[in-house]
Structure formats: C-alpha cells, structure tokens
Amino acid sequence: MHTIDSFFGNAKHIRDSRPIVGHSLALLSGALFPLAFSPFDIWWMGIASLVIFLFSLDVDSKRAVAIRYYLFSVGMYGIGVSWIFVSINVYGGASYFLAGILITFFVLSYSLTSLVAVAMHINVSNWLIAFPAIWVMLEWFRSWFLTGFPWLFAGYIHLDSPLSGFIAMLGVLGLGLLTALTAVLLYSLRPERWVVSFLALGVLWGGGAFLAAKVSWVQPTDQTVSVSAVQGNIDQHTKWLRKSVGTILNTYLGLTESEWGRDIIVWPEAAITVTKPDAGPILDELARQGHQTGTTLILGIPDRKEEGGYLNSALAVGNGAGDYQKRRLVPFGEYVPLEEYLRGLITFFDLPMSRNHSGPMSQDPLLAGLLSLSLSICYEVVYPELVRETVEEPDLFVTISNDTWFGNSLGPKQHLQMARMRAAENGRWMIRSTNNGITALIDHQGTVQAQLPSFKAGVLRGEVRVMQGATPYHRFGHWPVVIPCLFFVLVLLVKRRILQRP
C-alpha cells in the first residue's frame, strides 16, 4: 500500500513541478481518444485516455486546468476529424498547405468549446466527483452550439462493449456519462478504496452486460421487408457536370433493373443530379415501375425553392409517397457561413450545391406502402435528438448519404458508427444507402447485418424486420441525463459560492 501511495505522490510531484509533463499528458490523452472509435474500435482506449486526462487535471493551478482541457480537445480533434482535410484538399481544390492551415484553424478554434467545461471544473467543489456531469454538459453543448458538431462523443465507443445494454435507456450522452464515471472510478482506485471502487465498477458494467443479454425494450413483429440498397460509386469530381447526368442515371437504372419487386429500393443522397422540377419525366417513369411491381423507391434529388436557392431532398415514389427536405445542413458543404466574405475566396467555399436552404423542422414521414419511414440525409444522422424526433413511431429508419467527399479516411467509418447508435437508441432497423460506402443494413441493436465494400458499385439485398414498442430513449430523449447533470453541477457551484463567503 505504501508503495502505491508513494507512486501516486511522486507522480503528482513530477506533474505539478513540471507543467510541461501535465500538458503533454493532456495532449497525448486527447490524441489517443479517437482510437476508441471506428475504424480502430479499441473501445477501452477511450476509458484509458480519460484516466490519463484525469491524471493531468489533478492540479491546483486554474491556468493549467484550462490549458489541459484545451490540449485534450486539440489532440482529440486533430486526430479524430483529420478526414476534413480530404474534402478540403481533394474535392475543395485547396493545396496541401492551404488545406493544412484550414484544418488546423478549425481544430484550434473549435477546441475552444472546451472552455465551457473549464468554467464548471474550476468553480465546482470536488471536481473529480463532478467530472462525469461536466463531461456530459460539454458534449451536450457541442451538440447544438453554432448548429452543433456532435462528433467523437464518448458514448459511441460502447456499441460493442458490455455497456451497450444502456444505449436504449440513456442514449449516446448517457453512455458518455458512464464512460466518464468509469474513468473516475479507475482513477480513484487506492488500496483503501478498492472494495468500494470494484463493487461500483462491477455493478455498472455487470448491469450493462445483463441489460444487453436479457432486456429488450422493443419486440419484433411478424412483418419482414425485402430491401435493396443501391451504391452507384459515382466520381465526385464529375458528379455535378451536366454531361454526367445521363451516365449517372443509367448507372442507377441498370443497378436497379433486377430489383423491381422488392418492397423497398433505396438510392443514395442526390442520386439524380438534376433538380426535381427538371426530372419530371424520369420520376414519372420510376413511379410507374414502382406501382406495377409493388415497390417503393426512395431516392435523393436536389430541389429548387421558388424564391431561389436549393433544397437537399428525398422522394418516395411507386408504392410509396412523401417528400423530405434536409433540415440540418453541413457548414461550407451545403451552405457558407459569412457568405458575403468567404464565397469565392477559394474553391472550397464555392462547392457544388453549397447554396442550399434548410427544410422545415416538422415534416410528414415518408411512406413505403403502409410503413412509416424516418428519413435522415447524410449529416443529419449524427444528431441524436433530430433523428429521435423526426417521426413519432417509425417502422423503419432510412438514411441516405454521400461520403465520397471524405475518401478512404476515418470519416465514413465514424459516420456509420453514429448511424448504428441511432438504430440502437431507438430500437429500429436502419437501411443505409450511400454513393460509394458504407452502404449497410443495421438491426435494432445497432449491429451491422450486411454491408457492401466501399468504392464499388453494387446492390445490397436483404430483409429488415419491423419492430414495435419504444425504447426509453425514444420516449424521453437525452433530458433524463442532461437535466440531472446540469442540476448536480449547479448545486456544487452554489455550494462552493456559499463556502467562499466570509
């Protein structure tokens, strides 16, 4: 016992007397954190990195705490969202040097959001106990600030860990809370507290394993649906050229020719590269074939607003109906913030279809026969509450995307991981159709049942099951996690203020 205590004491002395050691640990822990996500999927690394981060935070200097929160975020985003470089350089026309500057600027500036956590950490009493709640507050803030960038949330790492049993109850923010709590329990391990700490860890992780194995919040119906998800593998460099319209359309028609008669066929985002008003004849023909064969075809197509601008939309034609406009747009990809200053400076600020407008927040669901579909276009699937609220009681989830912008980087794999979480949170099967990968069928527990290889044209055929019932997360969202965490932090803030009074 004395040896262990001496180790912690000596390590703390080194860290406190040499701030660069603590700063380096914070940066290192942030850089290790993305290894817990796809495609690496070393889920325990997320917990280990938080333990290292906690070690760096255990100092008395407020300035050091602020720097280390920031450095953790720099390391996390510097590695975890490096895929943005591909879209800027390869498809945005920026040189390696300029793309490097832009991605560096993004990482350094967005990491400033960590100051929200710093304010709470410094001002609450017993920061270690408060850390899990502070972590949730930071992720929640990042989910909506400046339209939100809910990437690299800790809960995603548990899709395949024993804690997966809590997903349908608590959602991704709740799993983030349990991740941070686990890290605190491990960091707090001392010989005199081993029994209590191990008991708490056992209850937490054993409870998750039990829920995953024994508890199901939704039940399968007798209805299975035959689906075909089409992956066209269209080159992004030529996709929006006028001369490519016919070639792209023929690609999708050819891949779909043998699929008529399936219950649902799904084409990816912007599969048709002319606007809806200009695509009338082909849409009529597709609807006719769908009616004749009993098939619902869901396809992505741009639309025009009467007053100007574009909409990223999806249609259900044939044995289905409905029109959906994308509500949450990608900054710089689909619209340009500060457009009057940035538009035209470089190619990246003038990408094709970067003049889009958001669709209305409340829209009717798409229908496939009698089935009610909750549809998300690309980036929308990363927003837990947006997906949860799209349709009150959906039969299936459908998401269409075009991850070609990110090449063979981390981005498409992380995107699929987040889509899996949406299926597990809400207890519904998901059909995911993309231009060049990763096209997949995901079950109600977030498990990929089938997928196509990336960068190849093809059709993913399979059956999905209609589920009934609702998960606790689908009923209540993230508020049962966010509100108690916010209340807990506020209580500690008030307590500290009272204790500081003369």
> Which is catalytic among the residues 139, 239, 259, 326?
326
Beta strands in 319-409 (DSSP E): 320-321, 323-325, 366-368, 371-377, 396-401
Backbone φ and ψ of 231, nearest 5°: -120, 110
Question: Residues, the chain, total?
Answer: 502
CA distance 172 to 159: 10
Strand order of the β-sheet with 296-304 is 323-325, 310-318, 296-304, 264-266, 219-231, 458-468
All residues at 6 or more sequence positions from 268 whose CB lies less than 8 Å from its CB, including other chains: 230, 231, 232, 300, 400, 401, 402, 433, 434, 435, 439
Q: In this structure, are residues 425 and 471 in contact, taking their beta carbons and an 8 Å threshold?
A: yes
Residue 276 corresponds to which tokens in the numbers above? 């809806």
Q: Does 495 participate in catalysis according to the annotation?
A: no
Beta strands in 280-370 (DSSP E): 296-304, 310-318, 320-321, 323-325, 366-368
Q: In this structure, are residues 428 and 225 in contact, taking their beta carbons and an 8 Å threshold?
A: no
> Which is catalytic among the residues 139, 378, 380, 425?
378
**Per-residue DSSP letters for 74-104?**
HHHHHHHTTTHHHIIIIIT---HHHHHHHHH
CA distance 75 to 27: 5
Residue 358 corresponds to which tokens in the numbers above? 């958001």
CA distance 429 to 502: 59
Residue among 312, 347, 348 at smallest CA distance from 106 = 348
Q: In this structure, are residues 88 and 407 in contact, taking their beta carbons and an 8 Å threshold?
A: no
3-state secondary structure of 450: strand
- Give me the residues paired with residue 492 across strands: none
Strand order of the β-sheet with 320-321 is 320-321, 366-368, 371-377, 396-401, 430-434, 440-442, 448-451
Residue among 490, 488, 495 at smallest CA distance from 132 = 488
> Which is catalytic among the residues 139, 239, 259, 269?
269
Q: In the block, which residue shows the tokens 């950490």?
A: 121
Residue among 327, 352, 380, 426 at smallest CA distance from 143 = 380
- Give me the residues paired with residue 374 across strands: 397
Q: Does 269 participate in catalysis according to the annotation?
A: yes
Catalytic residues: 269, 326, 378
